[in-house]
Amino acid sequence: MLGITSERFPRSGALGLAWWARPAAFSTALAGPVMAGSMTPTARRTLPVWAILPVVLAAVFTLIHVSDKARGGYRIEQISAAHQ
């Protein structure tokens, strides 16, 4: 997610990366207690559900990659120090 942000929006800099990193940090803070609470009695049913999440993310980023390739691939954006 951060790699795509830095490649697509290089002018956003550290602020742009922080903006897109905050949902990940927030979801981690929420998911930790939920996972801990759901693992005690029903770990056999919970683990397959949580294992699907990385597969979904891989599919989403694969679709982004295929979409970029269909539009001509990666193009380098030059950033100059002076505003024009």
Domain boundaries, the chain: 2-70
Q: Is the pLDDT of residue 45 over 80?
A: no
Task: Please tell me the pTM assigned to this model.
Answer: 0.51
Q: Which residue would you say has higher pLDDT here, 64 or 59?
A: 59
pLDDT confidence bin for 65, thresholds 50/70/90: confident
Q: Closest Cα partner for 42 from 53, 50, 54?
A: 50
Q: pLDDT of 11-39, one tens digit each?
A: 888 898 888 888 878 877 777 777 666 66
- Dihedral angle of Cα 1, 27, 53, 49, to the nearest 10 degrees: 180
